Amino acid sequence: MYNKTNQKTIANAIVCKGIGLHSGEDVFIKIKPAPVNHGIRFIRKDLPNYPEISSHFNMVIDTTLATVLGNGNGAIVSTIEHLMACFSGLGIDNAVVETNRYEIPIMDGSAAPFVEAITKAEIVEQNKPKIFFIVNKPIILQKNQQYAAIYPNSSFKITCSIQFDHPLIKNQSYSLEVTPENFINYIAKARTFGFLNNIQYMKQNGLAKGGSLDNAVVIDENGILNKEGLRFKDEFVRHKILDCLGDFSLIGMPIIGHIKVHKSGHAFNHLFLKKIFEEKKSWETKSAPV
């Protein structure tokens, strides 16, 4: 059974600097502590009046190449999935993320640099209990070959499978219970990946301006172009779990349930979130029992 646990934030503000994957711009973000029931909110410090954007699924305005949030008044924040996965994986409920650009830095293509910064800042318990999103009945979405489902479970678990027509990837599947320890050890270090021909096409069309071998695993028909190779033999599916954690964190509460996805991506994950919230009789929200 899930444990009674209080909300968490960070003890000290931290700064992360990097490049925007698609914009190619230098990005500076500051992650700051926040009070109970605040959630994760982004603040655009480069815009007049410092507009705020909440991290909830109904704020998603685009999922083409990344998950993009907007506040309805023109302010957006893009490529949030790795940082949001970090908050979810580490059990952080409340934080403020100030940024000087519209895109969160890609860092090394994984969540590991965010994990390192946040753990140095220290995670602290607050004086209010977490409110959990508890699944009571299965919710399933299937479209062509894509599949997403969430089932009742005693903890938060995620199972992901992928399929690519490339001999280096083929079919991969990975499953784990989401705890801070498991997230740090098995998921956080998995980097984003792409195929060389797709990346070249995006760059020719003004996208992926900041993409390089320093922040992505790049694959051509012969193999991996990164000299250091893979961090895990199945790094590809582990990174998909990282993306899923970021996308499903937009429920806004820690999940008690088992998520299963096949050949999913940001757009399909968002469709599934919409379906989850349509099926209100299949879940409930409450604090853990004493």
Please list the ranges in the chain whose pLDDT falls under 50: 1, 290
Encode pLDDT of 161-186 as tens digits: 999 999 999 999 999 999 999 999 99
- Partners of 164 in the beta sheet? none
* Domain harbouring 98, CATH code: 3.30.230.20
Within a domain: residue 1? no
pLDDT of residue 4: 63
Encode pLDDT of 234-266 as tens digits: 999 999 999 999 999 999 999 999 999 999 999
Helices (H), 91-149: 112-121
Do 139 and 219 share a structural domain? Answer: yes
Percentage of the chain beyond pLDDT 90 is 89
Domain boundary among 129, 162, 195: 129
Residue in the structure block whose two tokens are 């009742």:
152
Do 282 and 169 share a structural domain? Answer: yes
Do 280 and 205 share a structural domain? Answer: yes
Please identify every residue annotated as catalytic: 266
- Cβ atoms of 39 and 55 within 8 Å: the answer is yes
Which residues make Cβ contacts (< 8 Å) with residue 190, sequence separation at least 6?
110, 231, 232, 235, 236, 238, 239, 241, 242
Question: Considering the entire predicted model, what is its pTM?
Answer: 0.95
Encode pLDDT of 31-47 as tens digits: 999 999 999 999 999 99
CA dihedral (287, 155, 121, 69) positive or negative: negative
Counting the structural domains of the chain, the total is 2
Strands 156-163 and 60-62: unpaired
pLDDT of residue 216: 94
Residue 132: Cβ within 10 Å count: 20
- Cβ atoms of 62 and 68 within 8 Å: the answer is yes
Within a domain: residue 50? yes
Interatomic CA distance for residues 1 and 79, integer angstroms: 34
